[in-house]
């Protein structure tokens, strides 16, 4: 668990496919509509390119592609969640940005052991809210390919 999750936590909830995911609100800079993305050669498949957001060149990652989910065309609901992490600003393309919720830190449980799920390595924990299950994503693992590969025993 990261030290950003203390006492009550405010989360931004978003959707990929039919699952709900969450990011701590203190790591989110803004939520934008999809705009023109300039492709950058020789980048990973999940890096869609860069956008010029208010004068700042921001890399854009498609989370569906990052989690190896089937890709879908963007709709009116598709959003780019701009996150700040370790002096880096990055945009995540998501199907839908649902809402902002407050949850007690005690309701965050460790991630379940999911054998063979690609997205499992990007999970920081899960939150049960009634019948809803929110998957708390680990920004560090999503953004740091080399570290992820070394954890898997592969040299990057």
- Residue 3 within a domain: no
State the residue range of the domain holding 130: 8-151
What is the distance between the alpha carbons of residues 46 and 23, in angstroms, rounded to a whole number?
A: 19
Dump pLDDT digits (tens) for 67-102: 889 989 999 999 999 998 878 889 999 999 989 999
Total tally of structural domains belonging to the chain? 1
> Residue 17's domain is classified under what CATH number?
2.40.50.180
- Residue 36 within a domain: yes
∠ Cα 56 59 61 (to 5°): 145
- Residue 134 within a domain: yes
Structure tokens at 129: 């809210």
Tell me what the mean pLDDT of segment 146-156 comes to. Answer: 40
pLDDT number for residue 152: 37
- Residue 55 within a domain: yes
Residue 153: pLDDT over 50: no
> In terms of DSSP H, where are the helices of 3-116?
63-66
Q: How confident is the model at residue 119 (pLDDT cuts 50, 70, 90)?
A: low
pLDDT number for residue 139: 85
Dump pLDDT digits (tens) for 26-47: 999 999 999 999 999 988 889 9
Structure tokens at 123: 């999970």
- Residue 2 within a domain: no
- Residue 1 within a domain: no
Q: How confident is the model at residue 110 (pLDDT cuts 50, 70, 90)?
A: confident
More confident residue, 151 or 12: 12
Residue whose structure tokens are 């709900």: 20
Residue 56: pLDDT over 80: yes
């Amino acid at each position: 668990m990261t030290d950003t999750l203390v006492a009550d936590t405010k989360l931004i909830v978003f959707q990929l496919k039919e699952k709900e995911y969450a990011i701590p609100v203190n790591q989110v800079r803004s939520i934008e509509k999809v705009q023109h993305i300039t492709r950058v050669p020789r980048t990973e498949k999940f890096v869609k390119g860069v956008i010029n957001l208010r004068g700042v060149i921001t890399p854009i990652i498609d989370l569906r592609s990052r989690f190896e989910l089937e890709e879908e065309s963007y709709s009116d609901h598709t959003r780019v969640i701009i996150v700040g992490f370790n002096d880096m600003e990055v945009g995540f393309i998501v199907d839908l940005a649902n809402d902002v919720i407050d949850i007690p830190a005690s309701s965050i449980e460790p991630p379940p052991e999911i054998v063979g799920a690609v997205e499992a390595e990007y999970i920081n924990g899960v939150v049960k809210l009634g019948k809803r299950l929110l998957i708390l994503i680990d920004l560090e693992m999503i953004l740091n390919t080399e570290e992820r590969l070394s954890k898997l025993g592969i040299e990057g």
